[in-house]
Amino acid sequence: MSVLNRMYRLSTFVGIPKIYEPQRQITVPESTLADFLSFSREQYLHDVRNDGGKAKEWTLVMGNEAGDLDTIASSIAFAWLRTKVLNQPSISLLQMDRNDLDLRAENLHALELAGVSRPKDQLLFVADLIDFHPFPSRKFALVDHNRLSSTFTPEESPVVVAIVDHHADENLYVDSAEPRIIAPSGSCASHITNLMETVDLPPELATLLLSAILIDTDGLKPGGKAIDVDRKAADYLAPKSTFASSVRVLQTNDTTPSSTLYEVDFIRSLSEELSTKKNDVSHLGPRDLLRRDYKQYEFILPWHPAKPTIRAGLSTVPVKLEEWAADGKLETEGDAWMKERGLHVLGVLTAYRGATKGKRKREMAWLVRTVSPPTDGFDFDALMERLCSGLEADPALELKEHKKFVNGTLKDTHRSFPHLRVRIYMQNPHATRKVTAPALKSIMEAQN
């Protein structure tokens, strides 16, 4: 792709309709990434507190609520791009509690490598805006997901002005989002990176994006999750990162990314560091495991006469069930988490290495809670049957009865937790939440 074509791609941001353009520019001093984040947060909160009208000129760049490194890096980078390059004041908003940062050591490590040593003070969290009603901003850019949560309902109708994602396309905001990039990749950060090919990228930001790509693609190993868009982005970032002295400048063209970057010592070392920190959850209890990597969804049930709305959650846990969910902990902690989040359905998706040959394995546990029915007379047993029948019929999931549990159901669940329905399976080790979430949506929103 020529330089002119690359610049055209970048300039499409500026093509957002006039109604969405900011009325003023925010002058951010030349500084480090950490300074940019601190300055943006201070300026945005000042506008929110002192002049709500000015807050509406900002775009909030949000990743998904799971708060993994990919979603954080992508939102920070896209906010930087819009503000520093396109002169459209934007700020990354994390859909997580400030203290939830402590649940992911790999995030803290990558942010530290990028010079963001005080992320709880330098980043904007949803709790910073909880006291403002209505929600102070109306413009949103979505990264690493493509549906705006109903939580963000300003007085004026919200506008999604951009989407960069690698999940299943829900076909929303096709008239307002520019760019609207929803395409396969191992990491959303790769799509963000490929929008910045003509930009003078700060080394700290390159390091943050590179870290996100490495942790999401198993260090770019062949046969893993990395595809060409990821390898191309990593090729671009490595020589620009704070590790530039550790890697030769890779000679690539626009269509043939390097296939050997994963062999570079610092890439291997960084990948192992991040992976080790990500997988060390030995200090976390069941509740922390459930909320550490969590996403939430709302579904309108067209097959029910009342067409009620139910709320479902998916928690990804990197530890097998028998190590943290035995002796009633799945029911106790699952029930408490569902009550706290107002859930009717909770899926717990585990991923771990087996003791034999270290093969990857996955389980899924499904809980349906009958305490808070969406409408009078709602049949939760029918909901559970619909859910399980749909999941069992999905060829991508390859569900099998979990041999550790009788008939796929925990013993005595009905005695201690009569309001819970529980079912547990082994599943295809390659089917991640990216497979399960669309399957859940399809089952819940089926007409019949």
In sequence order, what are the residues at sequence separation of 6 or more whose Cβ sits closer than 8 angstroms to the Cβ of residue 177? 142, 160, 161, 162, 163
* 268 within a domain of the structure (yes/no): no
CATH of the domain at 231: 3.90.1640.10
- Per-residue model confidence as pLDDT tens digits over 67-119: 999 999 999 999 999 999 999 999 999 999 999 999 999 999 999 999 999 99
* 269 within a domain of the structure (yes/no): no
Look at residue 196 in the predicted model and tell me its pLDDT.
Answer: 94
* 87 within a domain of the structure (yes/no): yes
Shared domain for 31 and 76, answered yes or no, is yes
Share of residues in the chain with pLDDT > 70 (%): 87
**Structure tokens given for 258:** 């390097």
Shared domain for 296 and 160, answered yes or no, is no
Shared domain for 240 and 130, answered yes or no, is yes
Shared domain for 186 and 302, answered yes or no, is no
Number of domains in the chain: 2
* 273 within a domain of the structure (yes/no): no
Shared domain for 69 and 38, answered yes or no, is yes
* 276 within a domain of the structure (yes/no): no
Shared domain for 238 and 107, answered yes or no, is yes
- Per-residue model confidence as pLDDT tens digits over 391-441: 999 999 999 988 877 645 555 555 578 899 999 999 999 999 999 999 999
Dihedral angle, C-alpha 438, 442, 444, 448, nearest 10 °: -170
Find the mean pLDDT for residues 30-35. 87
Look at residue 258 in the predicted model and tell me its pLDDT.
Answer: 61
Dihedral angle, C-alpha 98, 287, 104, 438, nearest 10 °: -100
Q: CA 92 to CA 232: how far, in whole Å?
A: 25
* 296 within a domain of the structure (yes/no): yes
- Give the pLDDT band of residue 372 (cuts 50, 70, 90): confident
In sequence order, what are the residues at sequence separation of 6 or more whose Cβ sits closer than 8 angstroms to the Cβ of residue 258? 231, 234, 235, 250, 252
Shared domain for 370 and 257, answered yes or no, is no
- Per-residue model confidence as pLDDT tens digits over 267-287: 999 999 999 999 899 999 999
- Per-residue model confidence as pLDDT tens digits over 328-342: 899 999 999 999 999
Domain of 245 in residue numbering reads as 3-263
HSE-CB for 14 with a 13 A CA cutoff = 8
* 270 within a domain of the structure (yes/no): no
The 3-state DSSP composition of the chain as helix, strand, coil percent (nearest 5) reads 40, 15, 40
Find the mean pLDDT for residues 295-314. 93
Find the mean pLDDT for residues 242-253. 66
Shared domain for 232 and 324, answered yes or no, is no
